[in-house]
């Protein structure tokens, strides 16, 4: 099994601390580099829960290594994938590695947990969540649930999420005509439901057509 590269994760994440994360993140990185992992983990937890992607990656590293916190591959996989789905490129290798450490049942639990959290964020008006849910269905399910992925990518495209059109076309391309039409029909119904859930500020202009 591939080894988890620990030091480099902190070194790279620390580069963005000045621009994005502020003194709390800087302090956590400094603590981790000096071997004070428990103190660093406590800060990373708070930052990760507030959506800091670099903190999510570093927290995942600590959990995977069991430094400053009990070793927990499932928790590490969760935070690594949270960061990856939010667009953190530095989480890709780590999230792939953590996925290798999970059983099929643990992988299913991870996918379900991510979808629950992403759906909650979508309801709160946080952009980009529909495509992220589609990626969970396509990348984390074993086997992949491509019809479900296509549904979420179709919703993401309707809500004008960046890159969603390409994801929708790729996922739809592998479906037979009957399945494609069924996905489109369901997406239309789900779109109306989501338009009703979202605040006015978070609704695209297309919601006005419902």
Average pLDDT, whole number, for the chain? 88
Instruction: Give mean pLDDT, residues 29-51.
Output: 93
What is the per-residue pLDDT for 209? 65
Sign, Cα dihedral of 198, 201, 207, 210: positive
Q: How far apart are CA 196 and CA 27, in angstroms?
A: 42
Instruction: Give mean pLDDT, residues 16-44.
Output: 79
Band (205; pLDDT cuts 50, 70, 90): confident
Contact 26, 18 (CB under 8 A): yes
User: What digits encode the pLDDT tens for the residues 87-122?
Assistant: 999 899 999 999 999 999 999 999 999 999 999 999
Contact 70, 40 (CB under 8 A): no
What is the per-residue pLDDT for 23? 64
- Asked if the model's pLDDT at residue 40 lies above 80, the reply is yes
Q: How far apart are CA 115 and CA 154, in angstroms?
A: 16
User: What digits encode the pLDDT tens for the residues 2-16?
Assistant: 554 443 444 344 433
| pTM, full prediction | 0.87
When mean pLDDT is compared across 18-32, 69-83, 123-137, 172-186, the lowest value belongs to 18-32
């Amino acid at each position: 099994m591939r080894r988890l590269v620990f030091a480099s994760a902190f070194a790279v994440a620390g580069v963005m601390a000045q621009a994005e994360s502020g003194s709390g993140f800087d302090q956590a990185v400094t603590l981790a580099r000096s071997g004070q992992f428990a103190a660093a983990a406590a800060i990373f937890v708070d930052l990760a829960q507030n959506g800091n992607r670099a903190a999510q990656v570093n927290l995942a590293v600590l959990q995977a290594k069991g430094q400053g916190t009990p070793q927990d591959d499932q928790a590490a996989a969760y935070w690594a994938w949270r960061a990856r789905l939010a667009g953190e490129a530095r989480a890709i290798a780590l999230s792939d590695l953590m996925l290798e450490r999970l059983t099929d049942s643990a992988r299913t639990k991870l996918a379900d947990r991510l979808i629950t959290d992403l759906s909650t964020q979508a309801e709160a008006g946080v952009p980009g969540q529909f495509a992220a849910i589609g990626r969970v269905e396509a990348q984390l399910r074993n086997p992949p649930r491509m019809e479900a992925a296509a549904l979420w990518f179709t919703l993401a495209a309707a809500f004008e999420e960046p890159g969603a059109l390409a994801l929708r076309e790729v996922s739809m391309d592998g479906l037979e005509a009957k399945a494609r039409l069924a996905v489109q029909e369901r997406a239309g119904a789900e779109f109306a439901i989501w338009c009703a859930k979202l605040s006015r500020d978070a609704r695209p202009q297309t919601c006005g057509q419902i």
